[in-house]
Amino acid sequence: MYHGWGRTRNYFEGWYFKIVDPTERFVFALIPGISLGKNGDTHAFIQMLDGKKSTSTYHEFPADNFQPSSETFELALADNFFSANQLHLNLPELQGELHWQNRYPWPRMLGAPGIMGWFSFVPFMECYHGVVSLNHTLQGRMRVYGEDVDFTDGKGYIEKDWGESFPNAWIWMQTNHFEAAYPVCLSASVAKIPWLGSHFIGYIVGFLLNEKLYRFATYTGAMMKADFDDDTVRLSFRDRKNRLEIIAHKAAGGNLVSPLSGNMVGKVNESMQAVIEVQLFENEQLIFGGNGKNAGLEVAGPAQELLTEKWRR
């Protein structure tokens, strides 16, 4: 749901809808949101990232076109509509309506209402993060650059962010396109988080394997290692029982606009053509190994500050 009631400046909120048709010819991210700048400038927007062409477009709307529901996750934005169960688009590039089935939300737990765990309750965080659906199946058709495309049996993913600004540096990756007869999904982020005049390196990882979600996060007590070069990003996470090894192979991407004190003035390059190798160990026994395609990957800001060769919390 929308969190920005009563905010007039220094605030942004946006949702990230990933849609992939069953042939994997078309991979898109649609990002509707609101920008309430520190100088009073306001507007609504829909960003569209074409993962195959590595191009992006930014559609701007008057702020009063942004009409969220106060009771559930529903957002009307001009002639477009977004919710936890469907989207309707009337953009120059994309027109049509999609619904989804078998949505897998991040589970709610006592003391941890979402992916951020108890950090969700901290009132002064620079940016908050949520996952609406780790995986779901698409139903419907769309006009894509004038071509009629059937998205039925394709895959989708939804997350959101809200607050004042994105972190100073972060690594983010996501994929739910593994060769498996059951849902396998990865969502992982590592970021430099401001904290009481200083900062810490925070991380949140969810790996869904056949209806079981493995969580590795700062608030769960998990440990991490991180490294990257020009071609790959390597992340490792472990707790008392499980270990997750990730190697993400970089690919061409498109430029998106990101928030800074509510103003959409930052830049981040995101690939949707990355390939991510994943291995999950339970008590040092390999229980899953596979490659995720059509993967989103971002390495932003001075990300070398996130790296560590030794296990650390």
| Span 257-272, pLDDT tens digits | 999 999 999 999 999 9
Checking if the pLDDT of 114 tops 80, the result is: no
User: Per-residue pLDDT tens for 127-169?
Assistant: 888 899 999 999 999 999 999 999 999 999 999 999 999 999 9
What pLDDT, in 10s, does the model give residues 8-63?
999 999 999 999 999 999 999 999 999 999 888 999 999 999 999 999 999 999 99
Report the percentage of the chain scoring pLDDT > 90. 85
pLDDT, mean over the chain: 92
- On whether the CB atoms of residues 189 and 172 are closer than 8 A, the answer is yes
pTM for the full model?
0.94
Q: What is the pLDDT of residues 190-233, one digit of tens each?
A: 999 876 566 889 899 999 999 899 999 988 899 999 999 999 99
